Structure 1
Amino acid sequence: MTLLGPDYSFESRAHEKGHKLVAGVDEVGRGPLAGPVTAAAVILDPKRIPEGLNDSKKLTAKRRQALHDELLLCADVSIAHASVEEIDELNILRASHLAMERAVAGLKQVPDHLLIDGNMVPRGLNISSETIVKGDARSVSISAASIVAKICRDYVMSSLAQHYPGYGWETNAGYPSKSHKEALSKLGVTPHHRRSFKPVHNILYQEK
């Protein structure tokens, strides 16, 4: 039987082991050339799990927004960022882990157990944790985190697009689309571009 989408089985197993509060953790924005990396942590209420949770990339923009709004009403949600400066200073992996650590720390309740998308536990998290590869398509708590993180980061990039028009951030969210790379060549590097990323670095340090 094929799985139709994420479920509550990882959370249920954690509850069986005595963990009362289980948080899903995910990040978005590791690939873009511009903007922060954003993470979210979500503790769902088992009695009020929104229907249709899934990997944020598999949802329409309208459905994603509706689920985001519902989650803010019925779950413990925390969103956090690591800045472009932190990405350049630390590297993108460590910065994404820092954003995850901040998101967990921002929850109203202290979770007993974390379900983390990917295959690495951020070193600053001293809570019982398990990693789940492709977790946003397997655990509803991680799906919820992926949705709120994406909505928040897309909003940040749309806001930045108002101040730095021409790069298409309102549609590409800072990812290295063809039009974004062309704009980078024509308009140059903004303070919100990640200087440690090769396409940006090459423009900054190209031989005259």
Structure 2
Amino acid sequence: MDKLSISEIKMILKTITSENDPRLSEFEQDQRKGVQSAMAQWQKQQAKQVKLAEKYQEMSVFEEEKKAQGFQAICGIDEVGRGPLAGPVVAAAVILNDTHKILGLNDSKQLSVHKREELVTEIRKNARAIGIGEATAEEIDQLNIYQATKVAMQRAIDQLMITPDCLLIDAMVLDNGLPQEKIIKGDARSVSIAAASIIAKVYRDEWMTTYGEEYPAYGFSKNAGYGTKEHLKAIETYGILPIHRKTFAPIKNK
């Protein structure tokens, strides 16, 4: 039997997920540098997957506790966009199904654009329900950012096709009568909240990019409304837009 080529072995390694696969011992005996390099890469990837699985288990503790208490529609809630000078604050509410295992969930700010987009696809596949809510710049100015965030979160809950029986919320408490737990840094500690964080982040970034196409000088596709040099220069040169928050410095000082 002809020896497998290095490229063939690499393709096979992509399909192997168990360290007990007998083909691995054959490849380990292959002294070709390309094979040994491929094996080292496979082992590195396996170690990474083990860490991701461990992290996922750690981040499922709050959900498991709620399930043990009898809750069946546990909803993670998070927001993005509290700090920018422009655009809405956006919240997402996510109820994951019972069989989900979306490795790599984390605080959306810790993930690359590509990884967030990958995870949005996985979240949508594994969610029983997703709701998105916004509070506009005008509402933020009227209510203040803290109260506007609550409004956006409640709107996200109201958009769900399933009524949640328990809420896990990132650092907030909502006055809606539902059983809930406020979790500090919840987007890095709860899979449901992390999923909501990613959904909200991708939605808001797309919103800002679309708006930025109309006003390219402000750089919204890159800064998402935060006060970068480019953004501040555009405000000085072209003025304040309808989506700017008039109560946020330095805009409020103009």
How far 1:178 sits from its partner (Å)?
A: 2.1
* Whole-angstrom distance in 2 between the partners of 1:92 and 1:49: 34
Higher helix share: 2
The answer to whether the 8 A contact 1:27-1:38 is kept is: yes
Residue 122 of structure 2: aligned partner: 70
* Whole-angstrom distance in 1 between the partners of 2:229 and 2:166: 41
Residue 38 of structure 1: aligned partner: 90
5+ unaligned residues in a row in structure 2: which ranges?
A: 1-53
- Selected match of 2:150 from 97, 109, 112: 97
* Whole-angstrom distance in 2 between the partners of 1:92 and 1:115: 20
* Whole-angstrom distance in 2 between the partners of 1:133 and 1:7: 13
How far 1:48 sits from its partner (Å)?
A: 2.0
2:236 equivalent to 1:185: yes
Letter in 1 for 2:83: G
- TM-score scaled to structure 1, two decimals? 0.92
SS in 2 for 1:176: coil
Pick 1 or 2: higher relative contact order, CA cutoff 8 A, min separation 6.
Answer: 1
Residue 22 of structure 1: aligned partner: 74
* Whole-angstrom distance in 1 between the partners of 2:111 and 2:80: 15
- Selected match of 1:172 from 223, 228, 232: 223
How far 1:117 sits from its partner (Å)?
A: 0.2
The answer to whether the 8 A contact 1:71-1:77 is kept is: no
- Selected match of 2:213 from 162, 166, 174: 162
How far 1:49 sits from its partner (Å)?
A: 2.9
- Selected match of 1:139 from 190, 196, 203: 190
Deviates more, 1:154-163 or 1:45-54: 45-54
The answer to whether the 8 A contact 1:98-1:122 is kept is: no
* Whole-angstrom distance in 2 between the partners of 1:185 and 1:116: 38
* Whole-angstrom distance in 2 between the partners of 1:178 and 1:132: 34
Residue 56 of structure 1: aligned partner: 108
Deviations 1:23-71 (A, max 9, x none): 0000000000000000000011120232211111111110100111221
Letter in 2 for 1:20: Q
* Whole-angstrom distance in 2 between the partners of 1:126 and 1:81: 21
* Whole-angstrom distance in 1 between the partners of 2:178 and 2:145: 23
Moved over 3 A (4+): 3-6
Residue 206 of structure 1: aligned partner: none
How far 1:200 sits from its partner (Å)?
A: 1.1
Residue 79 of structure 1: aligned partner: 132
The answer to whether the 8 A contact 1:116-1:131 is kept is: yes
* Whole-angstrom distance in 2 between the partners of 1:130 and 1:70: 25
SS in 1 for 2:237: helix
2:159 equivalent to 1:106: yes
How far 1:165 sits from its partner (Å)?
A: 1.6
Residue 4 of structure 2: aligned partner: none
5+ unaligned residues in a row in structure 1: which ranges?
A: 204-208
Residue 181 of structure 2: aligned partner: 130
* Whole-angstrom distance in 1 between the partners of 2:121 and 2:148: 27
How far 1:4 sits from its partner (Å)?
A: 4.1
RMSD across aligned positions (CA): 1.3
Letter in 2 for 1:47: T
